[in-house]
Structure 1
């Protein structure tokens, strides 16, 4: 492994401090946080400022904030992001952990579209495919995405939503759907029991972008022969972890 360059490491440590709090810091605060010599901190801040990675706060003398160069780098990173590719990478890790089928889906109108899928290795498993479209109200990913919409936008979509049944367990009444979405908001995960497939249950968690907006959902699908209350709780935690990892790749920093 190549040797890490101390000056570069310290510079990056300084920049990462600005991800917390109100986004401004003084040199003494950096010194206390990192335990570095005062002279070293001043030299590093001066260098970062000269290269526009930091900038003085005009209204607060002695304090700094992230500079325009960090915005340019972040914007370039965002431009190169591929939600489908990133989703498949994370889904692969989640599937490797639980050996169940993992999906990443987005909302389009009142349907969900699966943009990434990784199969279980079990002989008995959910059969689906990336690119498949399903009614949002019949799936855990769909309920997660609907529940994450702002109130007015949700009502506008529900007005156009025909609650057709995919199985005898599908939600077909608006009041029942609204109650289910309230439960999703309270729990932070969505669960679907045999609503899109009579032999499968699923649990889903929200995927957020750098602004905190829910842009996708990650789900784990399990045949009923391997489903239980204990397994549901275990997979809910794993789905939240996987969704958090994918959110981080999209630039989300805060708590979900």
Structure 2
């Protein structure tokens, strides 16, 4: 991860992003290597993040990780956008009625950022709030990408790297899939993003028709094939409409 900017604020944000990519922790030396900063600069930036609560330092392992202040800010953003505070109960109701895990994601650059998850009664989801999934492999990402007015240009920018042997890696095939999603109103994928998992997603539009997010149900393939998940499309769409109605305008 090369350094993206020269000023101290940009360097600090770059360091935060690096910590986010290394949940297990990273040393100052490794951080310097990956960012291209001198060791003294990396050490100073990490020290400042620790002092402000945006990073934690473990003296035993000499590793830096994201701090709770990042989580606090993330929760504030989610609450401000109406996701965490006013939508969690809707996902909980969806999971209760379907028996499957529900996930709400928003677009962040060329990825789908997980905002809320509610685990099903028999397993936990393969994503957590703050995680990102590729637009071309996840049902959430495909639902978001299908309604991107600049999707052709976005597809050209995507690397289309496979996450599993079932992932779409051909631009033409992806364009065909996105057209199907726009026609049907839902995106379904079977083991394209995670081996052993099916998922079904629908877009969440605000009252003015603008794309806000995507809502998905996820289930292990051994328990519920994609055809059975598709039966939940009406419930997914109903929940998506309810989420949109609660969003601040």
TM-score norm. by structure 2 comes to 0.64
Query: What is residue 205 of structure 1 aligned with on the other side?
Result: 202
Shift of 1:126: 3.3
1:105 and 1:216 in contact (8 A); partners too:
yes
Q: Secondary structure at the match of 2:179?
A: helix
Query: What is residue 147 of structure 1 aligned with on the other side?
Result: 146
For each residue in 1:129-177, what CA deviation from the matched residue of structure 2 results, as whole angstroms up to 9, or x when unmatched? Answer: 1111111111111111001111xx2123222101000000000000010
Q: Which runs of 4+ in 1 moved over 4 A?
A: none
Task: Using the TM superposition, name which of 222-231 and 154-163 deviates more.
Answer: 222-231
Do the aligned partners of residues 167 and 101 (structure 1) sit closer, same or farther apart at CA in structure 2, a change above 3 Å counting?
same
Query: What is residue 137 of structure 2 aligned with on the other side?
Result: 138
CA distance in 1: counterparts of 2:98 and 2:207, whole angstroms:
27
2:160 and 2:170 in contact (8 A); partners too:
yes
Shift of 1:125: 4.7
Do the aligned partners of residues 229 and 172 (structure 1) sit closer, same or farther apart at CA in structure 2, a change above 3 Å counting?
closer
How many residue pairs match? The answer is 171
Q: Secondary structure at the match of 1:103?
A: strand
1:126 and 1:200 in contact (8 A); partners too:
no
CA distance in 1: counterparts of 2:83 and 2:137, whole angstroms:
23
Structure 2 residue runs of 5 or longer lacking an equivalent are: 1-78
Shift of 1:198: 1.1
Report matched runs for 1:114-193 at 5 Å: 114-122=114-122, 124-150=123-149, 153-193=150-190
Query: What is residue 235 of structure 1 aligned with on the other side?
Result: 232
Do the aligned partners of residues 83 and 244 (structure 1) sit closer, same or farther apart at CA in structure 2, a change above 3 Å counting?
same
RMSD (CA atoms)? 1.9
For each residue in 1:94-125, what CA deviation from the matched residue of structure 2 results, as whole angstroms up to 9, or x when unmatched? Answer: 11111211000011121110000000111x45
Q: Secondary structure at the match of 2:136?
A: helix
CA distance in 1: counterparts of 2:159 and 2:176, whole angstroms:
17
Shift of 1:82: 2.0
Shift of 1:229: 5.4
CA distance in 1: counterparts of 2:82 and 2:161, whole angstroms:
32
1:209 and 1:251 in contact (8 A); partners too:
no
TM-score norm. by structure 1 comes to 0.63
1:88 and 1:104 in contact (8 A); partners too:
no
CA distance in 2: counterparts of 1:200 and 1:229, whole angstroms:
9
Query: What is residue 90 of structure 1 aligned with on the other side?
Result: 90
Structure 1 residue runs of 5 or longer lacking an equivalent are: 1-78
Query: What is residue 211 of structure 2 aligned with on the other side?
Result: 214
1:95 and 1:119 in contact (8 A); partners too:
yes
Q: Does 1:225 align with 2:222?
A: yes
CA distance in 1: counterparts of 2:197 and 2:226, whole angstroms:
14
Shift of 1:86: 2.8
CA distance in 1: counterparts of 2:227 and 2:169, whole angstroms:
28
